[in-house]
Amino acid sequence: MPSAILARVRDGGPAFWRTATRSAPLVVQAVLAALIGIGWLGLSGSPLSYGTPFRWLATAAFIVPTVAALVIGAVLLRAESPYRRGVGLAVCGSAVVTFISGLFYVLIFLPWFEGGA
């Protein structure tokens, strides 16, 4: 299955690449908004966050939107329309950007927030 999706990406026409390029800035903002929203819910005193260490809340805040975006992007990449496949590629790319930015956040700022842990 992944090889079929990669073949569709490789053989994408101009409409596919134009849609992927133009929709990427908007899709990245939507995925980052989901990341901020989940982080806000986790840190705002919701019942799920009582007694949970900050490390786990921060990890969940960037893994949940990443996995959701990868699943949505994979579904869109299977579509017949080049426009939907282009948006699917943008969604998968934004998932990678979200994961990398969350990883840097955890590696740089998490020890500082937890007092050198």
In this predicted model, what pLDDT tens digit does every residue of 90-100 receive, in sequence order? 999 999 988 89
The pLDDT of residue 89 is 93
Q: Mean pLDDT, to the nearest integer, of 25-51?
A: 80
What is the domain partition of the chain in residue ranges? 2-113
94: left (phi over 0), alpha (psi -120 to 50) or beta: alpha
pLDDT at 44 over 60: yes
Q: How far is CA 113 from CA 35, 39, 80, in A?
A: 18, 15, 46
Most confident of 25-34, 58-67, 101-110: 25-34
